[in-house]
Structure 1
Amino acid sequence: MTFSATLPDRLRSLLRRPLSVAWRRFLALSLALSAVVTFFWPDVGHPTLVASRDLQAGAALSAADLRLVTLPSPVAGTFRNSTDLVGRPLASPARAGVPLTDVDLATTAPDQASAAVQLADQALAAVVRPGARVDVISQSGEVLAENAAIRETQGQVVVLTLPRLNATRIAAMSLDQALAVTLR
């Protein structure tokens, strides 16, 4: 009887033999144990950015205002990367240790403001959609603002986001008269 000296030949000869009952039981038990351990393995958590201190509304976030923590379950709308939040203003105050979500962020820049405007044309109010860009025109034909973003619509009233100076003027004029918009 001769033995092969090469490793591949030895492996082939071992694989040709049928597995014993003991080996089959050992493999089945190992697979079952692996499945149980994987099923009950604890969740390592969900990294989430929280406020490192109490923050005021309107404050632009800096890296020092943020801290990464691990929560046991995910929170909808949270952030994992601080670059997504740095420089963005808060819409409302935030307590230290509370996760920051997309709802907590202001949708306008610090030099922007929103103003509600009643449109003169009811049919146009049904056409405009949030996110669209419009120019605002007075009844005398004067252009009050250019490239204003529509934030939301409610019937004949449209909320526009535009530079703060224009927003103040448009809000004051809309008290006396309905305004028109042209779609861009």
Structure 2
Amino acid sequence: MPRLRRPRSPVHLLRQVAAASLACLALVLALRPPPPATGAEPTSPVAVAAADLPAGTVLAPGDLAVVRLPAGVLPGGAAADAEELTGQLLAAPVRAGEPVTDVRVVGPGLWSAVPAGLVAAPVRLADLAVAGLLRAGDRVDVLAAPGDALTATGDAAAAGVLVVAEGALVVAVPAGEAPGAVADGGLLVLAVPPDTAQQLAAAGAAGSLTVTLGRP
């Protein structure tokens, strides 16, 4: 006589249904594609140096590039457009790819301090300590000598020293405006006639420059 199977209890059936449901859910979760990646951090345009630039560079369009950087790493005072910086004077050197901020350039007051008919001419002195004695508003004579003759002898005539500019107005001493402070690399910005600016550039390339101070 065949053995009769005891009917399953409702609890047992519920357990089987629950187990099957959990198995299906696990399969669905395993096959589901991964969630899309969260959006990247927003970026902002910023003007950076296109190459290593020394202090005293008058920024031209080719000196700058505009890149996009994460907003969270942008330094304060950064310019979003290279045109904002074109024509400004670097007060300190910058590395290629470094954002050019407001503290890296001589302030806009520089150009308003240049009298009509004159230009702003960067001049780098051989003796850094001399630059540290100067401040905006001083008047100086610029002396030029071949090579390091200015420090090799105390006789200006024997050293071939020439007066390149007389009574030039100091309009900026980058990174060293206060008396006694050492200017950045001996850099001065002088207001001079255009032809004198050319002579200063030639004299600085050929030899050493220094200044004597006169009354402002």
Query: Which TM-score band applies after superposition, normalised by the shorter structure?
Result: 0.3 to 0.5
TM-score w.r.t. the length of structure 1 is 0.42
- Max radius of gyration: which structure? 2
TM-score w.r.t. the length of structure 2 is 0.37
Structure ranking higher on relative contact order (CA contacts 8 Å, 6+ apart): 2
